[in-house]
Amino acid sequence: MSDLIELVHRLGSPHVLVIGDVMLDRYVWGDAERISQEAPVILLRADHREERLGGASSVATMLQALGARTQLVGVVGDDSNGQHTRQMLDSLGIDAEGVLTTNDRPTTVKERYIGRAQARHPQQMIRVDYESRDSLPADLEQRLASILTTKIRQADIILISDYDKGVCTPGLLRTAITRAQARGIRILADPTRGGDYAKYRGCSSITPNRLEAGLATRRTLRTPEQALDAAAELCATLQLEAGIVTLDKDGMAFAHRDGRRHLFPTRPRQVYDITGAGDMVMATLGLALAAGADYDAAIRLANIAGGLEVEKIGVATVTRQEILADLLHAPFASAHRLPSAAKVVSLAQLVNELDARRRNGQTIAFTNGCFDVLHAGHVQYLAEARRQADCLVVALNSDDSVRRLKGPTRPLNPVEARALVLASLHDVDYVTIFAESTPAALIAAVRPNVLVKGADYRKEDVVGAAFVESYGGRVHLAEFHSGFSTTQLIERMKAA
């Protein structure tokens, strides 16, 4: 994950232009207590109401939360919902100069009723939509096209969020695609379900979900491999740079015009609500590509952000800090820890990941040793070391280093085996290997908050102690557990 951590840190603040159907999402929350006496329906006792931006304005909101400079082009109705939508956009700092007001249609509103059963986890009960699906009249389309021509000059990437509410007409999209191509910037579309996909021809990429891609290609997509075929077909027929099919729990299927085809799996999540997951994928994908990422890294990052979004109720935002915390397996993401082999890292990888952890507010503990034959004393020692900080780094002596310290018959286990055993422990976050006789240089590179050694040492004898204390760190002498010794264990095994 180190490349994704680096990508998050260099995302910057690209200018992203979002075109599409501006909406208002309303949530009515309450307790679903009983069946109504009037009809066989659930009676919801409402206790509060919440409003969020939806549709294309949801994508814009997510981009803004991720640190982009966002411009939005679309329409709202000349009504109180439209006024409220504008106020919300302004409060978030989204450039809504390109959002026009029209009196020929209402502001699109999706009203969701969320019920709790016996005060347990809330579930969506019903959704009520207020909308018009008619295409924009010619004069309004022309006004939006004129705005697009101006706004595109400032954009690093363009995202089309098409919910089939009439804004994303073939004519308007042709203007956007032509202008994007002329400027040499990417334009991505999250397409509508069904309909004529010809209007997306010439986009850099489109991101339909499984059902949308199946309808567009007249296929039934039961497997990820079938989704790859659909992505490749869309890429060819619509003259795209890449076709990307989102597959919810199965991740994403990617097909590039150069012949590359790849499945990007996603990590299992506790799914609370899939609402907004597609918007989050689009927002993150666009931001990453605008920041110079390739499709591989952008898709992987979008998988992470989309997974975080479905763990929230409704259309919710995700921040860079949340993404970093998930990548770094912070305490609230600890259920998804790194597999053992991935914890064994080079010094360069280690420094990069620790830097990201520090930016996320985490502290680092460091210890070192040979750990030739791991025993209960080691396990208790490492558990105490881990309790001193948010993350524990174990520096492991190389085989040559162990021989210099312990003699020619040691180690019994090669460094690869010792590293893997250490990395399998829950309390160990990283293992890195050093060849020197002491870890002084490694400590200088890592700069831990806490340096840990056993209580059989005196602090003044601990390598690196003075250096760590010089910048405000501390030295912790962990409890010595008698009765455990690698040398004695080896002697007993020989005797047996």
- Report pLDDT for 119: 61
What is the average per-residue pLDDT within 83-107?
95
Dihedral angle computed from the Cα positions of residues 82, 85, 86 and 87, in that order, rounded to the nearest 10 degrees: 120
- Residue 153 has φ and ψ, to the nearest 5°, of -65, -25
pLDDT of residue 489: 61
* The amino acid at 326: D
Residue 290 token pair: 């605008």
Q: What 3-state class would DSSP assign to 169? A: coil
Q: What is the mean pLDDT of residues 366-386?
A: 89
pLDDT at position 270, please? 57
DSSP label at residue 76: E
pLDDT digit string (tens) for 273-315? 566 688 999 999 999 999 999 999 999 999 999 888 877 766 6
Q: What is the number of other CB atoms lying within 10 angstroms of the CB of residue 339? A: 8
Q: Is the pLDDT of residue 384 over 50?
A: yes
395 pLDDT band (50/70/90 cuts)? Answer: very high
pLDDT(336) > 50: no
Residues 301 and 7: beta-carbon distance below 8 Å = yes
Of 273, 279, 326, 390, the active-site residue reads 279
Whether 334 shows a pLDDT value over 60: the answer reads no
Other Cβ atoms closer than 10 A to 489: 16
What are 443's two structure tokens? 């400590």
Cα(268)–Cα(263) distance, rounded to whole angstroms?
A: 15
Neighbouring C-beta atoms of residue 363, cutoff 10 Å = 14
Q: Band the pLDDT of 492: cuts 50, 70, 90.
A: low
Arithmetic mean of pLDDT over the chain: 88
pLDDT-based confidence at residue 23 (cuts at 50, 70, 90): very high
Distance CA 132, CA 108 (A): 7
Q: Which is more confident, 150 or 356?
A: 150
Q: Where are the beta strands (DSSP E) in 361-400?
A: 364-369, 391-397
Do residues 370 and 396 make contact, with C-beta atoms less than 8 angstroms apart? yes
Q: Which of 172-176, 329-333, 389-393, 426-430 has the lowest mean pLDDT?
A: 329-333
pLDDT in tens, 240-257: 999 999 998 888 999 999
Query: For residue 282, how many C-alpha atoms fall within 13 Å in the half-sphere facing its CB?
Result: 33
Nearest residue to 393 (alpha-carbon basis) of 435, 351, 337, 455: 351
Q: Is 355 a catalytic residue?
A: no
Cβ pair 220, 256 in contact under 8 A: no
What is the predicted pLDDT for the residue at 337?
45
Domains and CATH numbers, the chain: 2-336 (3.40.1190.20), 340-495 (3.40.50.620)
* 316 or 18, higher pLDDT: 18
Distance CA 145, CA 476 (A): 65
Whole-model pTM: value is 0.70
Quote the CA–CA distance of 224 and 253 in Å, as a whole number. Answer: 7
Residue 349 pLDDT grade (very low, low, confident, very high; cuts 50, 70, 90):
confident
Cα dist. 462→303, 430, 452, 455, 476 in Å?
Answer: 44, 21, 9, 10, 10
